[in-house]
Amino acid sequence: MAVVAAAAGWLLRLRAAGAEGHWRRLPGAGLARGFLHPAATVEDAAQRRQVAHFTFQPDPEPREYGQTQKMNLFQSVTSALDNSLAKDPTAVIFGEDVAFGGVFRCTVGLRDKYGKDRVFNTPLCEQGIVGFGIGIAVTGATAIAEIQFADYIFPAFDQIVNEAAKYRYRSGDLFNCGSLTIRSPWGCVGHGALYHSQSPEAFFAHCPGIKIKVISLS
């Protein structure tokens, strides 16, 4: 209690001081100021410029050419998931109704091909789905979680923003969730009812530690 009272007193004095000149007269103010406002360096400025330009710019011309196959958007998603499971033996797909193929038919045939241990349904609990994916990813495996509609993602907001996005930072780079992918379709069926029409990606686009990917038709 004495420590809490002392800290509270320090904060109250800091707030009461107000003006810039009073910083130097407060006990420990130099340390606090150095922590909150570290001296900028040339490297820091370069990093800020690099981070500011975060939009992914693909190469104008592909560097590799191979056999192509004409497919629609959903078929291309299925193909990508199929390739991930085939190339990575640790990869698993789980979520809402993925076992029978998903409501958008993007996981059709994958359970039969790779088995029920690698493609499976979960309870209808978005927070649990993402939390489960974080646990898998932290072990080094590849987790592909699916939330049936993007509108359903909000119950998992805390897990995504406060857990997955910050895991590497909070662990001092000992662990990370870089192998976690959360599929969350939106805009697939035109105008839908409540919980089927929102585009919530902007809520996550401004959170450090999260990368937003949107499929292009071009």
How far is the CA of 75 from the CAs of 70, 81, 189, 202, in angstroms? 9, 10, 16, 26
Which parts of the chain are beta strand (E)? Answer: 92-95, 119-121, 143-146, 180-183
Six-digit token string for 57: 């710019």
Q: Is the pLDDT of residue 126 over 90?
A: yes
Task: Give the active site residues.
Answer: 126, 196
Inter-residue contact 185 to 149 (CB < 8 Å) = yes
| Percent of the chain residues past pLDDT 90, beyond the cut | 45
Six-digit token string for 8: 């509270």
| Residue 2: its H or E element | helix 2-17
| CATH homologous superfamily of 73-205 | Thiamin diphosphate (ThDP)-binding fold, Pyr/PP domains (3.40.50.970)
Encode pLDDT of 61-113 as tens digits.
767 777 888 888 889 999 999 999 999 999 999 999 999 999 889 999 999 99
Quick check: helix, strand or coil at residue 29? helix
Domain ranges of the chain: 2-52, 73-205
Q: Identify the pLDDT of residue 82.
A: 97
The model's confidence at residue 16, banded by pLDDT at 50, 70 and 90, is very low
Encode pLDDT of 152-211 as tens digits.
999 999 999 999 999 999 888 888 899 999 999 887 766 667 778 888 999 999 899 999
